[in-house]
């Protein structure tokens, strides 16, 4: 008997329908899976056979052929175990075919018949819903993840027995309840606060501007001045994620297999900090399954590169596409996948190999040649894509141990949220949300400056040998500075501060040698 069930596979963070055709006929007993099935799917033969037997169902010795259609696309993963097992039971007339026609089946089977959670459940369900499918049978481990999606009917089971009994009408399972997402529920889960950083008023100001407009920022300073602590505080002053942002992040984390199954949704903005020895694939994504990398896992959050010049130059250069376009294209022999990668880059570096060039307290032991070699790891095109440069200076003991109260993250975040709200209203209907995303036409429309400011910008352009890209980024930053003060127009002081943050620190970071 031929049985056809519906399931879904993943391509990037999008799902596409897969028909599971199971045909059991008389002949020499065998179990073949066709349709460009990967090794993990072909191994499901043994998992399905054991799960059916250990669930007390009859594994009838037949010539069994399983086809995964469309047959011209490569399929990976263990999510087809459940539909293959159910398809076998239908084809051997242990479950009526009509009872299974309305459902999408997803799930990995253990040898004892229990159902294990699978990666990518949320993007699969969302894709299926967009194509008109509304009923799903999934593992209980994916229940919370699926509960945040409206308009679907999901039944979650612990094992194959419960799923089959439900299809037979013996087990009256209830569909899982829908959960509402609260945008504020991830705010207090960071464990750090910007008030814990003493002094560093200029660096904090730069960070506030960067977060308000989602600008990329590079901090330079001697070891121990607080660069890493400042970076870790960035998510604490970012606005809480909207439901749409949380869904985008969750889809990526679900595909990558790093989603917390108890939360079911990413509730706080990602903060990814790959080590400087990270490989190219781990940063950009790739591998056999073309999995998302760190730049995608940081989507709608922060990618922190500590000691940026220590990363391999060819690895850093791969950041140029996502920093410019907000996406990363992962190309392999068998497939090309595009992942979202709209993140805020926060980077830190020492001013030289020993770390003390320009320090007030310690003497640098590096030669000019050493410093130039160190700085050459950061290319001009990459630095052009960074909007704000800031030096994090040493602080005095009295300032470090002083009792003067510092602004906390909640206070700074209030100002950031107001600035972001101004930008949201400004760009409503234009497909962008922050100043850093503006294209040239939008810059001309929203970043108009007076004649005096135009002269200042021209002087900076000529004196600092700025590129057109760097100049447009100065205008974007100036727009954010004006937004923080609630101004309709960019004033000369706003532009001057933006120019300072874009250019003043290049010499301090070794470029003046």
- pLDDT tens sequence across 234-264: 999 999 999 999 999 999 999 999 999 999 9
185 pLDDT above the threshold of 80: no
Asked whether 354 and 366 are in contact (CB, 8 A), the reply is yes
Q: How confident is the model at residue 73 (pLDDT cuts 50, 70, 90)?
A: confident
How many whole angstroms separate alpha carbon 463 and alpha carbon 465? 6
Asked whether 289 and 74 are in contact (CB, 8 A), the reply is no
Report, as an integer, the average pLDDT of 270-281.
Answer: 93
Q: Among the listed ranges 10-24, 136-150, 189-203, 452-466, which one has the minimum average pLDDT value?
A: 189-203
- Write down all domains in the chain, each with its CATH number in brackets: 2-167 (3.30.230.10), 194-511 (3.40.50.300)
Report, as an integer, the average pLDDT of 40-67.
Answer: 93
Report, as an integer, the average pLDDT of 193-198.
Answer: 88
504 pLDDT above the threshold of 60: no
Residue 412's alpha-carbon distances to 133, 237, 375, 409, 415, in angstroms, are 44, 6, 33, 5, 5
420 pLDDT above the threshold of 60: yes
153 pLDDT above the threshold of 70: yes
386 pLDDT above the threshold of 80: yes
DSSP per residue, 52-114: HHHTT------EEEEEEESTTS-B-SSTTHHHHHHHHHHHTTSS-GGGGTT-EE--EE-TTSB
Residue 335 or 364, more confident: 364
Report, as an integer, the average pLDDT of 83-106.
Answer: 95
pLDDT of residue 444: 95
Global pTM value: 0.91
pLDDT of residue 157: 97
513 pLDDT above the threshold of 80: no
Report, as an integer, the average pLDDT of 4-19.
Answer: 94
Q: Among the listed ranges 15-24, 130-139, 275-284, which one has the minimum average pLDDT value?
A: 275-284
Residues 358-365: contacts with CB within 8 Å, 24+ apart?
A: 358/222, 358/391, 358/508, 359/222, 359/394, 360/393, 360/394, 361/222, 361/394, 362/222
pLDDT of residue 39: 86
Q: How confident is the model at residue 63 (pLDDT cuts 50, 70, 90)?
A: very high
Query: What sign does the CA torsion over 408, 219, 509, 511 have?
Result: negative
Q: Which residues pair with 32 in a beta bridge?
A: 65
Between 121-130 and 243-256, two packed helices, what is the crossing angle to 10 degrees?
A: 120
- Tell me the pLDDT of the chain averaged across its residues: 91
Report, as an integer, the average pLDDT of 408-425.
Answer: 95
Q: Among the listed ranges 131-135, 163-167, 181-185, 374-378, which one has the minimum average pLDDT value?
A: 181-185
509 pLDDT above the threshold of 90: no
Residue 504 or 200, more confident: 200
């Amino acid at each position: 008997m031929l049985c056809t069930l519906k399931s879904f596979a993943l391509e990037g963070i999008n799902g596409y329908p897969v028909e599971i055709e199971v045909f059991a006929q008389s002949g020499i007993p065998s179990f073949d899976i066709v349709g460009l099935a990967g090794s993990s799917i072909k191994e499901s033969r043994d998992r399905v056979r054991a799960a059916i037997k250990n669930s007390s169902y009859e594994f009838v010795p037949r010539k069994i052929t399983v086809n995964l259609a469309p047959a011209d696309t490569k399929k990976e993963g263990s999510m087809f175990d459940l539909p293959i097992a159910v398809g076998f039971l239908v084809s051997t007339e242990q479950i009526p075919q009509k009872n299974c026609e309305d459902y999408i089946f997803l799930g990995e089977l253990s040898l004892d018949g229990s159902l294990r959670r699978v990666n990518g459940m949320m993007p699969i369900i969302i894709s299926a819903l967009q194509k008109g499918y509304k009923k799903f049978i999934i593992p209980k481990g994916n229940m919370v993840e699926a509960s945040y999606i409206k308009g679907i009917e999901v039944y979650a089971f612990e094992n194959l027995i419960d799923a089959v009994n439900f299809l037979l009408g013996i087990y009256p399972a209830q569909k899982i309840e829908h959960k509402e997402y609260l945008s504020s529920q991830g705010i207090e889960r960071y464990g750090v606060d910007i008030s814990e950083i003493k002094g560093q008023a200029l660096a904090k100001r730069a960070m506030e501007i960067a977060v308000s407009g989602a600008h990329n920022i590079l901090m330079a300073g001697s070891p121990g001045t607080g660069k890493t602590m400042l970076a870790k505080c960035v998510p604490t002053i970012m606005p809480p994620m909207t439901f749409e942002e949380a869904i985008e992040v969750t889809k990526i984390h679900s595909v990558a297999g790093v989603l917390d199954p108890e939360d079911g949704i990413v509730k706080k903005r990602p903060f990814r900090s790959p080590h400087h020895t990270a490989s190219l694939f781990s940063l950009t994504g790739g591998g056999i399954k073309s999995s998302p990398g760190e730049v995608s896992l940081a989507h709608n959050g922060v990618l922190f590169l500590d000691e940026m010049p220590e990363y391999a130059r060819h690895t850093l250069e791969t950041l140029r596409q996502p920093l410019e376009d907000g996406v990363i294209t992962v190309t392999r022999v068998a497939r090309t996948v595009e992942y979202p990668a709209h993140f805020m880059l926060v980077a830190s570096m020492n001013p030289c190999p020993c770390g003390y060039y320009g320090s007030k307290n310690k003497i640098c032991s590096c030669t000019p040649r050493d410093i130039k070699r160190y700085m050459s790891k950061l290319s001009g095109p990459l630095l052009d894509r960074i909007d704000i440069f800031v030096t994090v200076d040493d602080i005095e003991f009295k300032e470090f141990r002083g009792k003067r109260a510092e602004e906390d993250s909640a206070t700074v975040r209030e100002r950031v949220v107001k600035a972001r709200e101004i930008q949201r209203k400004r760009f409503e209907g234009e497909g962008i949300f922050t100043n850093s995303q503006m294209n040239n036409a939008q810059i001309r429309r929203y970043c108009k400056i007076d004649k005096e400011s135009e002269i200042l910008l021209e002087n900076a352009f000529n004196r600092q040998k700025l590129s057109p890209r760097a100049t447009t980024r100065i205008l974007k930053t100036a727009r954010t500075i004006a937004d923080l003060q609630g101004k309709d127009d960019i004033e000369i002081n706003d532009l001057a501060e933006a120019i300072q943050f874009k250019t003043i620190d290049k010499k301090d970071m070794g470029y003046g040698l």
